[in-house]
Structure 1
Amino acid sequence: MKESHPYFKRKTPEELLDEIALSNRGKLKLYVGAAPGVGKTYKMLQDALDLRKEGKDIVIGLIETHGRKDTEEQIKDLEFVPLLPISYKDRTFYEVNVKAIIERNPEFIVIDELAHSNITGSKHLKRYMDVEEILQAGINVLSAVNIQHLESVNDIVQQITGVKVRERIPDTFLSKANEIQLIDVTPETLRKRLSEGKIYTRDKIERSLTHFFTTANLSALRELALREVADDVDERIEQISREVVNGPIGVNEKILVCIHYGPTAEKLIRRGWRMANRLKANMYILTVVDEAGKNDPQKEQKMKEWTKLAEQFNATFIIEEKKHRKPATVIVEVAKRYNITQILLGQSARTRWDEIRKGSIVNMIMRDTSNIDIHIVADGR
C-alpha cells in the first residue's frame, strides 16, 4: 500500500478553524534588543518609513522617543492615532487607543514599549494585551522590547544586573511573532552612546554607567538576547521541518549523552558536560532501563548518582523503558524527540562477533538519522 505524505493528512474541523483565524490575524514583527539605546525604535521607524514609501497605510499608535533627536526626526512625517487620556489620582495619563486604532483600521501600526503596564482604568492590564486585540482585528503591528522584559529570563536578569524587572511579557506572546529582528550593538558602543547623552538625560548618565550599563552586565544581556533569538529560530525551523527532515536543523547544539550501568557512565557525563560547556549547548543524559533492572539496589543507587550529576550540570535526565526495542532504536527516537545534534556514546562492550550477529549500534543510529554527529569515547578517556 502506498504511504500517504504527512502534508496530505486530512485536517480536523478544529485545525481548519484555527487556520482561518490565523489567516485573518494581523502579522506581528518584534524588534528585540539587549538593553535600552541599542536602536530598536530607530530601526522600527526606518522600516515604517520604508513601508510608507512602498505605498502601505502605516500609522503610529504610540512611540517613545526618550528625547532622542534622531528618533524625533523620523516620526514627523508619519500619521498618529491620538492616545487615549485616562484620569487616575487627579492626573491624566495617556495610553494606546485600541478602539480608535481599530476604527482607523490601517494596514500597519507602530506601538512601542511592548512590556509597558497600563494605568489603572485601562481596558487591558498590559500593552501586549492591547497589541493582541489589534492583531485579532487583522492589523499588522510593529513593536519593540528589551530581552530583560521576557518572563522566562526574569530571574537570570536579576542575577546578572541586581535589578528586578517588574514589566514583563509572557514567552507565549513572543512565540506568536511572525518575525523577530535582533537589534545588536557591542557593549562598548552602547556605553559610548550613553556617555554622549544619546540614551538618557545628563543627570542619569553617570549612575547608569556604573550600575545597569556596566560592560559585564551588557555583555551578559547581549549573550542572553542572542541565545533567545537563536532558540526562537530553532523552534520555528523545527516546527516547519518536523515531519519532512529525518534529523535536526537549527543553530543551537544539543548534546545527548547515552549511559548504562557500567564503570564509564560518570566519565561520559563529565565529558559530555565539557563539550556542552564549550559549545554553550543544552545537554541531555539518556539511560535505557528494562524490567530486569528494576528493584536492584545497586542500579537504584547509580540512578540517584546520575540524577545528582545531571542537576549539577544543569542537564535534562531522561529515563526510557526499553519495551522490547533495541537500544539503538530508543536512542534514535529520543534524539529525534529532542532535536539532538550530537550523540555521545561509550566504547561498545560488544565483541566483533556480536556486532556481526546483532549489528553495530553506531551503524544503526547513523542509518536512521541525519544531521547528527556521533562521538565514541574510549574507556580510558
Structure 2
Amino acid sequence: MRRGKLRIYLGAAPGVGKTYSMLSEGHRRVERGTDCVVAFVEHHGRPRTEVMLHGLETIPRRTVEYRGTSFTEMDVDAVLARRPAVALVDELPHTNVPGSRNSKRWQDVEELLAAGIDVVSTVNIQHLESLGDVVESITGIRQQETVPDEVVRRADQIELVDMSPQALRRRMAHGNIYQPDKVDAALSRYFRPGNLTALRELALLWTADRVDEYLQEYRTEHRVSKIWGSRERIVVGLTGGPEGRTLIRRAARLAEKGAGGEVLAVYISRSDGLTSASPKELAVQRTLVEDLGGTFHHVVGDDIPAGLLAFARGVNATQIVLGVSRRRSWQYLFGPGVSATVARESGPDLDVHIVTHDEAAIGGGRGAAPGAPPAPAPPPPG
C-alpha cells in the first residue's frame, strides 16, 4: 500500500487564511472528481470559513468525556473506515483530549497517511517545535501546542499563506478573525505590528530554507554542477590563521546586502595531516561564524584550490572570500598561491573576493592556503 501524501498550508499567524485555503483546495479536488472529505475543520465562528464547508462531506466527530466535560475530536477510525482519497485535517499541532488514542493530531494524521489517505492540513509558524524559544522572545507567549519540525519537513508540499501585518490587523478590526469582545485585546497584544512582522519573517525564511532543500535535492538528482544564483551563498576559505576572523566578518557583511544571504566557512585539511593550523583558532572561528548565523565545514583534500571550488559548487555558492596570501615573495617560485588559483579557475558564475588583512605577507610558516602545510625552507643563498 502506498503512503498517502501530505500537503500543508503554513501561515505566520491565526487569520491569514490557512483553513480557507485548505477548504478551497478541497472544493477544487471534489470538482475534479476526487473523493475528498472533511475529517476535522474548526471554523472558529468565522462566517466566510464556515460557508466554505458547504458542499463538502464531513465525517462526524468523536465525543470524548474528560473531567465531566464533553469534547469533540477527529474520529480516526471513522475516517479510516470511510477511506477517502483525501482528508482535510485542520490544526496539525493540536493536542488531543486525554484518553484519546494519540496525544497529538499530527500522530492521527500519520495513521491516515500510513493507510494511503492523502491529507491536507494547516500549521502556524509559531507551532514549530524548534522555534518555541524564538516565538516566545518575540511575543512573550510560550506555545503549548507544537509539532516536530521533521513532521512538517516531510510534507510532500508546503504552501505559504501570506498576508501583510496591516491587512491582517484590518481583518481583525473588522471582526473576521476573533469575536468583537476579543479584538481590542488581540490588537494590543499578540497582533501588534512588530509581532506580526517578526512572525511573518520567520514564516518566509523557514519556507525559503525548505525551498532551498528541494533545490539542492533536484540539483543532486539531476547532477547539476552549474551554479544557480538563486540566493547569495558565500564560502569563506579558512587557513587556521588569525586572519580568518576578518574574512568571516567580511563575508557576513556581504551576506547582509542580499536577502537570505548565507555564510559557509570551510577549512580544507590535507589527508597526510601536514598542517600547522591552530585548532584553538579554528574553534574560535567556528564559534564566530555560527554566532553570525553561518555554518562551519571541515573538508579533507590534497588539492586545496580544487577542493575549495568543488565545495563551493557543491553548495551552489555565488561568492568565495579568501585572504591575501601570507607567503613571502620567494615562495611564489613554487607556484601561484591558492587565492590566485581559485580566482583563475572559478569561472564566470562564481565571484572571488581577495581580502587584505594584518597577516598579509608576514610569512611565519603558516601557509596561505586553507589547510596548507608549513612553507618550505627558503632556497640557499648564491
Which entry has the higher C-alpha Rg, 1 or 2? 2
- 2:163 counterpart residue number: 185
1:326 to 303, 317, 329: 303
Pair 1:40 & 2:18 matched:
yes
1:209-288 matches, cutoff 5 A: 209-243=187-221, 244-247=223-226, 249=228, 251-261=230-240, 264-279=243-258, 280-288=260-268
1:16-95 matched pairs, under 5 angstroms? 24-95=2-73
Q: How far 1:83 sits from its partner (Å)? A: 0.8
What number of residue pairs does the alignment pair up?
352
Matched residue SS, 1:123: coil
Residue of structure 2 in register with 1:204 after alignment:
182
Return the match for 1:293 from 275, 279, 282. Answer: 275
Q: Does 1:335 align with 2:341?
A: no
Q: How far did 1:167 drift?
A: 0.8
Partner Cα separation in structure 2 for residue 378 and residue 359 of structure 1: 12
1:98 counterpart letter in structure 2: V
1:21-79: CA deviation from partner (whole Å, max 9, x where unpaired) = 6xx11121110000000011111111211221222211101111111111111112111
Q: The residue matched to 1:376 in structure 2 has which SS?
A: strand
Identity of aligned residues (%): 38
Which amino acid is the alignment partner of residue 89 of structure 2? I
Residue 108 of structure 2, aligned match among 119, 126, 130: 130
Q: Which moved more, 1:84-93 or 1:337-346?
A: 337-346
Could you tell me how far apart the structure 1 residues matched to 2:14 and 2:337 are?
Answer: 63
**Rounded Cα–Cα distance in structure 2 between residues aligned with 1:148 and 1:281:** 23
Q: CA deviation at 1:219?
A: 0.5
1:119 partnered with 2:97: yes
SS in 2 for 1:73: helix
Is the Cα–Cα contact under 8 Å of residues 242 and 281 in structure 2 kept in the other structure? Answer: no
Kindly provide the CA deviation profile for residues 261-319 of structure 1, in whole angstroms up to 9, marking residues without a partner as x.
5564332111111112333423222233453435x7xx345334424433442332334
Pair 1:169 & 2:151 matched? no
Label 1:123 to 1:355 Cα distance change in 2 as closer, same or farther (>3 A): same
3-state SS, counterpart of residue 248 of structure 2:
helix
Partner in structure 2 of residue 7 of structure 1: none
The aligned runs of 1:119-158 (5 Å cut-off) are 119-158=97-136
- 344-353 vs 76-85, which moves further: 344-353
Aligned to 1:101: 79
Is there any run of 5+ residues in structure 2 with no aligned partner, and where? 361-382
- Contact 2:11-2:123 within 8 A present in 1 as well: yes
Q: 2:346 maps to what in 1? A: 366
- For the 8 Å contact 2:323–2:339, the answer to whether it is kept is no
For residues 76 and 88 of structure 1, what CA distance do their matches in structure 2 show? 30
Change (3 A) 1:211 1:72: same
Where 2:209 maps in the other structure, the secondary structure is helix
Higher mean C-alpha displacement, 218-227 vs 341-350: 341-350
Matched AA of 1:343: I
Pair 1:347 & 2:324 matched: yes
For 1:265 and 1:359, the matched residues in 2 are separated by 14
- Following superposition, the deviation at residue 213 of structure 1 comes to 0.6
- Kindly state the Cα deviation for residue 95 of structure 1 after the two structures are TM-superposed: 0.9
- Is residue 2:137 matched to residue 1:159? yes
Residues 268 and 307 in structure 2, CA contact (< 8 A), matched pair in contact too: yes
Of residues 282, 285, 294, the one that matches 1:303 is 282
- In the other structure, the counterpart of 1:4 is none
- 2 CA distance for matches of 1:25 and 1:182? 24
Scaled by the length of structure 1, the TM-score of the pair is 0.84
* Structure 1 runs (4+) greater than 4 angstroms displaced: 247-252, 336-339, 348-360, 378-381
Structure with a larger share of its residues in helix: 1
**Matches of 2:86 and 2:305, distance apart in 1:** 51
Give structure 1 stretches of 5+ with no counterpart.
1-20
Whether the 8 Å CA contact 1:58–1:107 is kept in 2: the answer is yes
TM value normalised by structure 2:
0.84
Give the Å deviation of 1:165: 0.7
The 3 A distance-change label for structure 1 pair 100 and 358 is: closer
